[in-house]
Structure 1
């Protein structure tokens, strides 16, 4: 089945079915020229075999790295459970991770990358396990901040599935901190989102981390 047609679901469907971006050949060549001008001004010799196509490759890589803006219609399909129509019925936790992701920091357009762990307490609907990976990458493959990726994943799962709870844990290295600024190599940035029963129950949060293979106690 597809997700239901209440206003929140319709907004979600519109997000999943975004019009794929189209860049004409003329636009691409214009962007390639801008990139060549910048690289040249910063000292790159664009007349070598290794670098003559770098502006083109850079623009293509940037386009590919932000394909999350195109949406993902495959995320529209969910499945009913035996709990349909039973508000107090509760199924087990569904947990997926680690899910590798790469994103571009919206402040510096530099990459940050890491692992995502996503869980929900199934109720009336479930989604295919592979779709959790698709959901993470949908919001990561954009100009983003880590905190917002977690919130967007949780918002989408709540809209799609109406679960009893949603948990999202992200940990990532940020090259905008490692390559510039304080230039700290080792730290990871960790963010969590707890919704529904996860927000109220530290035991559930600990079970989530255990299912993820992470040693962490929530009290």
Structure 2
């Protein structure tokens, strides 16, 4: 059985959200665009990688490395599956709030959710944990869908700042909640394996929307929950 994908067509647009209200967004997420690479192109890409690895010093004809170019390409392909979308992403349920501007529900915080991504600057991994919080209005999201949403954006060539921005944008459009908060903590191999070689450093980024923007106590509660290790 061949390990090659069968045919390539890059998705026209799986990075944004469109549509008004929950229904429009759900329909958009269901428009999954699988990437496909022909066996001919795959063999050509393997040849390029073999040439590159050899130039870097790898003995490419040894029993343990003969298939490394193909394995490397497969690993990159699998690690960037977020470009294809996720047809199982949106499953929203009615909340206990039945409308009105004064409806307030305690925040929902999920985490730590592990994630990994590939830095678009050096194609080296960065990985860590995410905490996602929101204050529901008329809809809540199945907890597993928060993990799916994170994977949708992290399994791409990206940067940590963009992933957090995409998460808060997506949750705002999907749920129209009273507020959204996202906290990401990640280790970046591009700073550990090269450049300044900061072995013990990590990067933290936080994003606020809605009630979190103007309620310092709410932000403090969210950060406290993110810091709690149980």
Q: TM-score when scaled to structure 1?
A: 0.91
> Which digits, 9 at most, give the CA deviation of each residue in 1:156-186, with x for residues without a partner?
0000000000000001111111111101101
Contact 1:154–1:166, Cα closer than 8 Å, also in 2:
yes
Cα deviation for residue 12 of structure 1 reads 7.1
1:164 match: 178
* Greater shift in the superposed pair: 95-104 or 70-79: 70-79
Q: What secondary structure sits across from 2:134 in the alignment? A: strand
Residues 1:89 and 1:11: Cα distance change in structure 2 (over 3 Å)? closer
Contact 1:102–1:141, Cα closer than 8 Å, also in 2:
yes
> Which digits, 9 at most, give the CA deviation of each residue in 1:122-166, with x for residues without a partner?
111111001111111110000001001000000000000000000
Q: What secondary structure sits across from 2:145 in the alignment? A: helix
Q: CA RMSD in A?
A: 2.1
Contact 2:21–2:173, Cα closer than 8 Å, also in 1:
no
Aligned residues: 213
For 1:120 and 1:179, the matched residues in 2 are separated by 36
Query: Is it true that 1:105 corresponds to 2:105 in the alignment?
Result: no
2:109 match: 95
Residues 1:57 and 1:192: Cα distance change in structure 2 (over 3 Å)? same
Residues 1:9 and 1:177: Cα distance change in structure 2 (over 3 Å)? farther
For 1:147 and 1:4, the matched residues in 2 are separated by 21
Cα deviation for residue 77 of structure 1 reads 2.2
Q: TM-score when scaled to structure 2?
A: 0.87
2:49 match: 35
Query: Is it true that 1:63 corresponds to 2:77 in the alignment?
Result: yes
For 1:7 and 1:80, the matched residues in 2 are separated by 14
Q: Mind listing any 5+ residue stretches in structure 2 that lack a counterpart?
A: 1-16
For 1:20 and 1:84, the matched residues in 2 are separated by 38
1:120-159 residue pairs with structure 2 within 5 A? 120-159=134-173
